[in-house]
Structure formats: C-alpha cells, structure tokens
Amino acid sequence: MAKHIKPGVSTLALDKLADEFIRDHGAIPTFKGFPNPYGGPFPASICTSVNDVVVHGVPDGQTVLKDGDIISIDCGTQLNGFNGDSCYTFSVGEVSDEVRQLLKVTKESLYLGIEAAVAGHHLGDISYAVQHHCEAAGYGIVRELTGHGIGRDMHEDPQVPNYGRRGNGVLLKSGMCIAIEPMVTMGKRDIYMKADRWTVCTRDGKPAAHFEHTIAIRKGGAEVLSSFEEIESLERKLY
C-alpha cells in the first residue's frame, strides 16, 4: 500500500490492489464480508480511513486522496488457519507539522504499549502506557473501540482498551496473542458512526491516527508478529 498511496489515487483502487496481493499470496482477506451487528457485511478487503475517519472507512471510487491528507490502512488476513491484523496511518504528500506530530505520538504509544506487554503484567499496563503518552501530548483516546485477542479467529478475548490503570485487567501469559491498536484523535475523543453503519469519525472533524501490531506475549518482552519495516524504509526515501 505504501508504494501506491499518493494524491489522485482512490481508496477503491487501493482496496483492489490489496485484495489481489492478499489472494496471490494464498491468504484470505478476513475483513471482506465481515458481519456487522448494525447492518450489512463489510464490502472490502481493507479499511481506508481518511483524515477525520478514525476506523472502518469503506473504500470507494469517490474518495480520492489529495496532498496533505492522512489515511489509515487497516488490514486483516488469514493464512494457514491463523489470523494477522495490522494498521498504519500514512501521510499523503506533505502534511502539516501538527498532523505529523499526531502520527509520531500515536506510533510511539503503540510501542510503549508493546513494551508493557510482558508475561506477568496485566492488560491495564498496556492500556495505561498508551493513554498516558497520548493524553500527555494533549490528544484524545477513543474509548468505544479496542484492540483484541487474535488467533484462529480475527477477534478473540480479551479486549485490549487504550485507556486504563496499571495492574488492572487480565493477567498476561506467555503465548497469548493480541492486537494492540491505539486510536488517537487530535481533538476531543468523541466519535460518531456514519449512515453506512461502518465508518467511525471524530465529532469535531479533527484528524485521527491509528497504528496496530499483532504481538505474542513472552517472558521478558513481547514478540512483534507484524512489521512496519518496509513502510518505514519507503517513508525515509520519500521524506
């Protein structure tokens, strides 16, 4: 996706590229057809959330990226019976320093959450690490949506909130797999759902960032199973 995100590209075009890539590598795009308790199944293979869209943006031919936008690409796949889930918020062309800082802090909070994801700690340690870092920078933490356990199914217990207290929640044990995904707003944390019953936006219209890794809990430190390495390598070349 990083190679194709640029002004003039529609979110539908990105979805078609992602779907083809996933299937060509023998995997299944698990978002496509994902059931919705509020309405119809998700119609695409990735979520494309632009600017004030926090999560679950539905790709379409009318949403065309322009210089200064940000877009969160959330992707889930199943391969050999197991699921992976990851998200990255990309800059489209040149973005403002204010937006760049939002992305920086949100990504930092993800890795601080991962640092806290150690066997013997609790879920609240992850949640606190994310919340404390983002709120200290003046950002909002979305509370209605969480990370999650992951394995044979895309969404498993436990839920992994991005806010909480240290020492609270489920005890983390070696071998547990979870997806940590800070969803952070530049302004207030209040959100609403659009009429499509999927797209979740900030109420104040300010941008939101979303980064996600799938990890395995280990003694002494988590193992990160997804990777931003190729994306960040390309970003360094672009900027």
Assess whether pLDDT exceeds 90 at residue 239.
no
pLDDT band at 238 (very low <50, low <70, confident <90, very high): low
| DSSP of 170-192 | SBP-TT-EEEE--EEESS---EE
Q: CA 184 to CA 130: how far, in whole Å?
A: 10
Q: Give residue 37's pLDDT.
A: 84
The model's pLDDT over 203-222, given as tens digits with 9 standing for 90+, comes to 999 999 999 999 999 999 99
Mean pLDDT (the chain, rounded): 97
**What pLDDT digit, counting tens, does each position of 22-46 carry?**
999 999 999 999 999 888 999 999 9
Sequential DSSP letters for 14-81: HHHHHHHHHHHTT-EETTTT--BTTBSPP-SSEEEEETTEEE-PPP-SS-B--TT-EEEEEEEEEETT
Confidence of residue 156 (pLDDT cuts 50, 70, 90): very high
Mean pLDDT of 8-32: 98
Query: pLDDT by residue (tens digit) across 93-111?
Result: 999 999 999 999 999 999 9
